[in-house]
Amino acid sequence: MNRRTAIVGIGATEFSKDSGRSELRLAVEAVRAALDDAGLVPADVDGLVTFTMDTSPEITVAQAAGIGELSFFSRVHYGGGAACATVQQAALAVASGAAEVVVCYRAFNERSGRRFGSGVQHREPSAEGAALGWVLPFGLLTPASWVAMTAQRYLHTYGLTPEEAFGPVAVTARRYAATNPAAYFHGRPLTLADHAASRWIAEPLRLLDCCQETDGGQALVVTSLDRARDLPRPPAVIAAAAQGAGRGQEQMTGFHTGDLTGLPESAVVARQLWRWTGLTPADIDVGILYDHFTPFVLMQLEEYGFCGGGEAAGFVAADELPLNTHGGQLGEAYLHGMNGIAEGVRQIRGTAVNQVPGAGRALVTAGTGVPTSGLILTADG
Amino acid sequence: MDREEHLTAQLKAFEGRPAATRATGKDPVNLPMIRHWCEAMGDTNPAYTGPDAVAPPTMLQVWTMAGLSGHQGLSGQGRSPHQGLSRHQVRSAAYDDLLALLDAAGCTSVVATDCEQEYLRPLRPGDEVTFDTVIESVSDRKTTKLGTGHFVTTRTDLRVGPDLVGTHRFRILKYAPARTRKTPPRPRPVVNRDNAGFWEGVRRHELLIQRCTGCEVLRHPWLPGCNACGCPDWDTVRASGEGTVYSYVVMHHPPFPAFDPPYAVALVELAEGVRMLGNVVGVPYDKVRIGLPVRAEFRAYDDELTLPVWRVAG
Amino acid sequence: MRPGDELPPLTVPVTRTLIVAGALASRDYQDVHHDPELAREKGSPDIFMNILTTNGLVGRYLTDHFGPASVLRSLSIRLGAPNYPGDTMVLTGRVEAVDGDTATVRVTGTNGLGAHVTGTARITVGGAS
């Protein structure tokens, strides 16, 4: 699969706090925009991949987007952890011959509709529901609260304050968002003092440690590298794509085992990406690391080997790697990681608003604290 | 148009209307009030004393305050005084009508949220302040931790004689206190065939830890098999109840009605080695720390719900 | 005086006396600033500091630092977590910009619950009015 497929089209709706239309329509708009960008038409598509959490079925998106027969459709579980895995599924399908052109999409009204941040108070007694049942009665009800538990232990272990550890991640994201017209925080950079003054959400997380809940849709078109070379845009080659779950992995509440200073699922992905590409962190020109909450950006940098344990805050503050150059989900939009993949593609094409000069290798990751996924995208040739 | 939209439309109609016109401050700028202010603030700036004294600029709003004597029969009728607006006879009916509309909608409480002031020249003893206030904006319905209500923003221009000496923008939240709701029950544990034994134990005031009968490894949460060896057979051991705080979170937002934020949720490492979640009792939420020794107790929250809680060992 | 300069912090013990004295000195007789029982009826756990007192304390913090000859030109504040009795507020400030002899200063007051006040001031240093 590796280096045999590429992302050839990206398309998104506007990112907003209230889209005013259905999630299905957002999905269809994003798929159409991505096909236009790729120089392809709906009739070219024979595969669709999305998240299990998505409310728009592949068949319905196909029906409304003018797409015909499908020979491949698939969904990936575990929330934002699915993002890069949708591209992996597409690449596997294309490389195996199961499909020729696969569109990955994610669309939701996550801000004006059901907000993840508004919390969970009830679950059915399935295995998945029971897992969350260990924390709900005690008032740990939101994604922020589940992340905060691990974040607190991380700070304690390395003797860091939330301001010095998490502030640089928020400030960096908002610095890039400030110059990105598509970003929610366009024109609104942030200081460390602003971060430190923002109100507590789930201590040690403040408001400005949390991503921007968003309405919108994002789609990505994957096909073979051979076919990509005949299309108008320079291909973003899928040099490697991987999923990862740690031993004893849980969804968001994985604090019952381990030392809570890292993200074992990211280590599983990192190992594969480095092994398959032969690259090392020093070879990466731009990192698009999933930033639903600031602490998990730090832990990813450490798990991927950009720096040692407890050193990531300094690494970010020193600006050692162009990071989340679209503004991330803290600054651009929370599109469940799919907008980050699009940013990785733009960087490889050389068309990002905050372009890293000559960027040829991008690392893109998906939601963490859950089974996760990652990609290395490279320029062709 | 539903009721909420109807109210919002009514409220919006007040935007741009005057709240006070050519009102006069109750006292001219004077040294005793300046001195009382400086005493309260602990402000020893010499600029505020002596023959060339000026008033602290941040007193700007003070010179417009109605004070305890109130104005025109409004005091003592159960309506709280509103900061920043003199209740002089010159006050327009528009502001009273706006507040009455909000009161009638249940937004009977008030809290100030923003104050933006510009000081064009210092005020000196003897200055007689007059002021005009306009209702700048009334927000849509907002839900805050305090309750649900509307933000009202006013702007006041202060003059001495014909000269503009300062401007003062002020925002209050008029809201219905959240407390009137009865506390709803806490979220229930999610009980199924795999974990029912744990929750039955809690009802008997026992903390039961699963133990693999193949490799003897203890585990929590409960599962029908062992991650260490894959063995499906297990029994339980009763936890001693001793533990230490391994990590914790202080919850602030959003304000779930079943809880009373801020509150601490701790991840406790039991003496036996497994970790469990729970609320900490015996210290305030802001005194919970990693490493605190705790001991399990059991608390009944309602007829159907008993949960372990962790008391800080003293 | 340069952008980035940090003002030394000022620690303000939030006593019941300060809250009531501040309310009286600002002629603010709202019950939530002096009567715990009525404050509780309105959904507050205790009395809390009024916005005029916070404003006054921020003003004092600035002129204490820049000296008696400094002149405050503007001050905008936003309140967050209330100042309840028994808490401690720590005021911190940072010079954001300097234009001639006038500085723009960002001030934050943090208490045990979080940010009580965030604000921005413009202050002319050493100048006549």
Write out pLDDT tens, residues B84-127.
444 444 566 888 889 999 988 888 888 899 999 999 999 999 99
Q: Which residues of C touch A196 (CB under 8 A)?
A: 108
Q: Tell me how close the Cα of C92 comes to any Cα of chain A, in angstroms.
A: 9
Q: Is A53 exposed, middle or buried (0-12, 13-18, 19+ CB in 10 A)?
A: middle
A199: nearest CB among C94, C96, C115: C115
C36 and C84 Cβ atoms separated by less than 8 Å: no
Active-site entry in A78, A105, A176, A334: A334
The mean per-residue pLDDT over the stretch A121-142 comes to 93
Report how far Cα C53 is from the mean position of its chain's Cα atoms: 7
Instruction: Tell me whether residue A334 is one of the annotated catalytic residues.
Output: yes
Task: Establish whether the linkage from the previous residue to B254 is cis, with ω within 30° of 0.
Answer: yes
Q: Which residues of C touch A198 (CB under 8 A)?
A: 115
Q: Tell me how close the Cα of C12 comes to any Cα of chain B, in angstroms.
A: 10
What is the per-residue pLDDT across B17-61, written as a single tens digit (0 to 9) for each? 999 888 999 999 999 999 999 999 999 999 999 999 999 999 999
**Is A193–C110 a contact, with Cβ atoms under 8 angstroms apart?**
no
- Which DSSP category does C128 fall into? -
Q: Tell me how close the Cα of B224 comes to any Cα of chain A, in angstroms.
A: 10
Q: pTM of the entire structure?
A: 0.66
**Is C106–A193 a contact, with Cβ atoms under 8 angstroms apart?**
yes
A23 and A113 Cβ atoms separated by less than 8 Å: yes
C78: nearest CB among B114, B252, B286: B114
State phi, psi for C18 to the nearest 5 degrees.
-60, -45
Which chain B residues in 284-303 lie under 8 Å from chain A, judged by CB atoms? Answer: 290
What is the per-residue pLDDT across B214-271, written as a single tens digit (0 to 9) for each? 999 999 999 999 999 999 999 999 999 999 999 999 999 998 889 888 999 999 999 9
Q: Which residues of A touch B192 (CB under 8 A)?
A: 125-127, 129-130
- Name the β-bridge partners of B210: B219, B236
CA separation, residue B293 to residues A153, B126, B269, B274, C120 (Å): 16, 63, 10, 15, 43
CA distance B75 to C38: 16
Report how far Cα C35 is from the mean position of its chain's Cα atoms: 22
**Is B190–A133 a contact, with Cβ atoms under 8 angstroms apart?**
yes
B288 and B266 Cβ atoms separated by less than 8 Å: yes
Q: Which residues of B10-28 are buried (b: 16+ CB within 10 A; e: fewer)?
A: ebeebeeebbbeebbbbeb
CB atoms within 10 A of CB B30: 13
Residue A202 clears pLDDT 50, i.e. is over it: yes
With CA atoms as reference, report the closest residue to A253 among B267, B285, B291, B306.
B267
All residue ranges of chain C with pLDDT < 50 are 128-129
B154 at interface of C, judged by CB pairs closer than 8 A: no
What is the per-residue pLDDT across B71-94, written as a single tens digit (0 to 9) for each? 443 333 333 444 444 444 456 688
Residue A120 clears pLDDT 50, i.e. is over it: yes
Q: Which residues of C touch B66 (CB under 8 A)?
A: 27
Q: What ipTM does this complex have?
A: 0.96
Mean pLDDT score across all residues of chain B = 89
Domain ranges of chain A: 5-114+213-228
Q: Is C46 exposed, middle or buried (0-12, 13-18, 19+ CB in 10 A)?
A: middle
Share of chain A above pLDDT 70, in %: 100
A250 and A264 Cβ atoms separated by less than 8 Å: no
Q: Which domains are present in chain C?
A: 6-124 (3.10.129.10)
Task: Establish whether the linkage from the previous residue to B262 is cis, with ω within 30° of 0.
Answer: yes
Instruction: Tell me whether residue A176 is one of the annotated catalytic residues.
Output: no
Q: Which two tokens stand for residue A307?
A: 């720096």
What is the per-residue pLDDT across A137-171, written as a single tens digit (0 to 9) for each? 999 999 999 999 999 999 999 999 999 999 999 99
Alpha helices in A7-126 (DSSP H): 23-38, 58-65, 83-96
B127 and B61 Cβ atoms separated by less than 8 Å: no
With CA atoms as reference, report the closest residue to C84 among C28, C20, C9, C10.
C20
CA distance A89 to A76: 8
Give span(s): CATH 3.10.129.10, chain B.
3-180
Chain B residue with CA closest to C27: the answer is B67
Q: Which residue of A138, A146, A293 to mutate against B (max B Cβ within 10 Å)? A: A138
Q: Which residues contact A14 (CB under 8 A, 6 or more apart)?
A: A182, A216
For the segment(s) A5-114+213-228, the CATH number from 3.40.50.1370, 1.20.120.160, 3.40.47.10, 3.20.20.70 is 3.40.47.10
Which chain B residues in 146-165 lie under 8 Å from chain A, judged by CB atoms? Answer: none
Q: Which residues contact C99 (CB under 8 A, 6 or more apart)?
A: none
With CA atoms as reference, report the closest residue to B174 among B113, B95, B109, B87.
B109
- Which DSSP category does A209 fall into? G
Three-state secondary-structure class, residue A218: strand
**Is C79–B114 a contact, with Cβ atoms under 8 angstroms apart?**
yes
**Is C60–B59 a contact, with Cβ atoms under 8 angstroms apart?**
no
Angle at the Cα of C80 from the Cα atoms of C79 and C84, rounded to 5 degrees: 95
**Is A200–C118 a contact, with Cβ atoms under 8 angstroms apart?**
no
For the segment(s) B3-180, the CATH number from 3.40.50.300, 3.20.20.10, 1.10.600.10, 3.10.129.10 is 3.10.129.10
CA separation, residue A322 to residues A214, A271, A350, B282 (Å): 24, 21, 14, 47
